[in-house]
């Protein structure tokens, strides 16, 4: 039995185990509508009170006035529980250094990786630019870009989110912060080594798994160092009900470790089996790592900002379990028409269509939560990122399901259409959510407000317009490219030439995105170096009064 079948069989067995856990959860009543579990992210008296640390005092007042609803008076008589606030403050203090480290690394790799991405984009329509050295060639620059943004930016930001959010949700200080920081150091040493190795021409040659397996050992070791403290903190929690974000974040951390370990096993995956395993990993790294992290973030930050519990806790749990059930075999649709068994392609197509269920559960839940409150997006920059990311999750997932159909796949495959779709998911959805999460987290990590709030809106619009131009241009150009390649009467070079204008628009959109990243990085540095108006103390380096900040941001 070859390695690809073993990997698929293992994923199937994990799905069966998940099914039994799902049945057990139903028997225990965990899927019964639970308003108490939906409200666990709020301390007493916080429901109805907005919370967006990215806003200044005047902005918070405007958002609070816009968010006011009938019945809020019933909550005004409940003073915040000092003990609950103390648990939150202790949780934030315990994770401050690891979170700052992860975010700093993430922003560094974001700037470096996006610069490499723009360079690769320009080389598609300026092929004679930067050809003096081997590491400047398109193949290596693009691969360095992928490694920097997928592992450097998204993975570091995701780990920072996990380490910050879980102690808050569990109302328990992070246990083993030193091990978490060691894990972060190992992961980032691996990322730096991988980028250097790829630039030098040393690569394993599988998309998203290009780093040599010898360097991948650092990544696995880093994840294992982080898993221990996360699980130990979970076991020692002070809350009875686990909020849905905990399910998403913990599962995602376990999934990515297993996925990466299986994908990088040396000397096991060869030939067609290697391609099957490659896309089993390549799609699952999006669906079982990036997606649960981002969806879990939205389930926390969106209700927290508007001060209202999520509309249906039941739907949120349903979305989690159906994601776990249906996503494992989706990657096979990248191999339609390849030398793989027909049943594998069909299974992948079926599971791709079934992914509409968790996406619909999430979309209905978020729409219900924001019903009658959509206007609040005008007042809250963090909410703007979360709502944009949530909308793009729906669009990218529906597009992905349709793209798995054979009739669509035969046109879109091997074209820039697929690149546009990948960026709709990894950037418009995942990255925009992570931007919003960092804007919310850092004032609590550093106990220092963002010095120039207008830069947050500027960065949002640069990124949103940039990815819009990027996606629309490549989608149209990629589809025309696919039609041209299927037309036997047209020479292949015609399919290349017709994409040039759309590739130029790709570079325009990419340039706007890179500009937004520079604004983001500059604002982060200004905050870390204490530029701008001094409105609060510096909790990370000299704790002042974080409980007072909790009260300010909750009013």
Angle between helices 138-147 and 177-199 (to 10 degrees): 170
Tallying the residues shown for the chain, one arrives at: 555
Tokens linked to 461? 């619009």
| Model confidence at 125: pLDDT above 80 | yes
pLDDT at 207: 87
Collapsed DSSP state (helix, strand, coil) of residue 387? helix
How far CA 316 is from CA of 30, 243, 256, 289, in Å, comes to 12, 10, 21, 17
- What is the C-alpha R_g of the chain? 23
- Cα separation, 285 vs 283, in Å, equals 5
What is the DSSP annotation of 322-333?
A: HHHHHSTTGGGG
- Whole-number average pLDDT of the chain: 87
- Cα separation, 360 vs 318, in Å, equals 10
Q: Residues 31-50: pLDDT tens digits? A: 555 666 777 888 877 888 88
- Cα separation, 280 vs 526, in Å, equals 41
Which ranges constitute the DSSP H helices of 41-171?
57-67, 73-76, 82-125, 138-147, 156-170
Q: Residues 399-409: pLDDT tens digits? A: 999 999 999 99
Cα distance between the two ends of the chain: 61
User: Dihedral sign, CA of 405, 411, 414, 419?
Assistant: negative
Mean pLDDT of 213-237: 95
- Cα separation, 269 vs 438, in Å, equals 38
List of residues 6+ apart from 508 with CB closer than 8 A = 469, 473
Q: Are 478 and 415 in contact (CB under 8 A)?
A: yes
Q: How many CB atoms lie within 10 A of CB 281?
A: 23
Collapsed DSSP state (helix, strand, coil) of residue 527? helix
pLDDT at 10: 66
Q: Residues 478-487: pLDDT tens digits? A: 999 999 999 9
> CA 42 from chain center: how many Å?
23
User: Dihedral sign, CA of 413, 414, 420, 426?
Assistant: positive
- What percentage of the chain carries pLDDT values higher than 90? 58
In the 8-state DSSP scheme, what is residue 414? T
Mean pLDDT of 61-73: 79
pLDDT at 39: 79
Q: Residues 294-330: pLDDT tens digits? A: 999 999 999 999 989 998 888 898 899 889 888 888 8
Domains of the chain, start order: 92-529 (1.20.210.10)
- Cα separation, 186 vs 16, in Å, equals 33
> How does residue 273 score in pLDDT terms, banded at 50, 70 and 90?
confident
Tokens linked to 360? 């619909």
Q: How many CB atoms lie within 10 A of CB 424?
A: 23
Q: Are 478 and 503 in contact (CB under 8 A)?
A: no
């Amino acid at each position: 039995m070859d390695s690809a079948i073993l990997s698929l069989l293992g994923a199937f067995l994990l799905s069966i185990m998940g099914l039994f856990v799902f049945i057990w959860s139903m028997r225990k009543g965990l899927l019964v509508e639970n308003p108490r579990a939906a409200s666990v992210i709020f301390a007493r008296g916080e429901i109805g009170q907005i919370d967006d640390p990215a806003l200044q005092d005047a902005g918070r007042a405007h958002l609070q006035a816009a968010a006011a609803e009938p019945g809020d008076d019933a909550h005004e008589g409940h003073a915040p529980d000092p003990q609950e606030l103390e648990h939150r403050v202790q949780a934030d203090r315990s994770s401050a250094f690891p979170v700052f480290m992860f975010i700093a690394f993430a922003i560094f790799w974001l700037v470096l990786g996006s610069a490499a991405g723009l360079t690769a984009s320009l080389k598609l329509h300026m092929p004679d630019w930067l050809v003096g050295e081997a590491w400047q060639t398109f193949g290596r620059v693009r691969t360095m870009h992928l490694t920097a943004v997928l592992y450097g930016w998204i993975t570091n930001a995701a780990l920072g989110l996990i380490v910050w959010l879980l102690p808050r949700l569990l109302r328990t200080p992070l246990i083993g912060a030193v091990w978490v920081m060691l894990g972060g150091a190992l992961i980032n040493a691996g990322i730096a080594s991988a980028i250097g190795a790829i630039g030098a021409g040393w690569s394993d040659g599988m998309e998203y798994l290009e780093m040599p397996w010898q360097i991948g050992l650092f990544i696995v070791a880093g994840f294992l160092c982080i898993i221990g403290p996360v699980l130990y903190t979970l076991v020692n929690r002070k809350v009875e009900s686990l909020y849905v974000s905990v399910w998403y974040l913990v599962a995602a951390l376990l999934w990515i470790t297993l996925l990466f370990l299986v994908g990088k096993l040396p000397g096991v995956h060869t030939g067609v089996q290697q391609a099957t395993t490659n896309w089993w990993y390549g799609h699952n790294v999006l669906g079982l790592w990036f997606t649960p992290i981002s969806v879990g973030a939205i389930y926390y930050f969106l209700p927290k900002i508007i001060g209202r519990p999520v509309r249906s806790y039941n739907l949120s749990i349903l979305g989690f379990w159906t994601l776990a059930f249906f996503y494992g075999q989706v990657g096979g649709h990248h191999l339609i028409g390849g030398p793989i068994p027909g049943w594998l392609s069909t299974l992948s197509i079926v599971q791709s269509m079934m992914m509409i269920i968790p996406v619909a559960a999430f979309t209905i839940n978020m729409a219900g939560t924001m019903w009658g409150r959509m206007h609040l997006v005008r007042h809250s920059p963090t909410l703007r990122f979360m709502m944009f990311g949530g909308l793009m999750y729906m669009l990218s997932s529906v597009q992905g399901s349709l793209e798995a159909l054979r009739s669509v796949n035969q046109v879109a495959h091997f074209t820039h259409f697929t690149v546009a779709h990948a960026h709709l998911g990894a950037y418009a959805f995942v990255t925009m959510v992570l931007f919003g999460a960092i804007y919310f987290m850092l004032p609590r990590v550093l106990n220092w407000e963002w010095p120039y709030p207008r830069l947050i809106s500027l960065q949002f619009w640069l990124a949103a317009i940039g990815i819009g131009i990027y996606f629309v241009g490549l989608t149209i150009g990629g589809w025309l490219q696919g039609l041209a390649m299927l037309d036997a009467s047209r020479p292949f070079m015609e399919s290349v030439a017709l994409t040039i204008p759309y590739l130029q628009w790709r570079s325009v959109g990419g340039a706007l995105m890179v500009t937004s990243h520079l604004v983001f990085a500059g604002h982060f540095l200004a905050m870390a170096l204490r530029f701008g108006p001094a409105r609060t103390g510096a909790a990370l380096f000299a704790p002042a009064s974080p409980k007072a900040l909790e009260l300010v941001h909750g009013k």
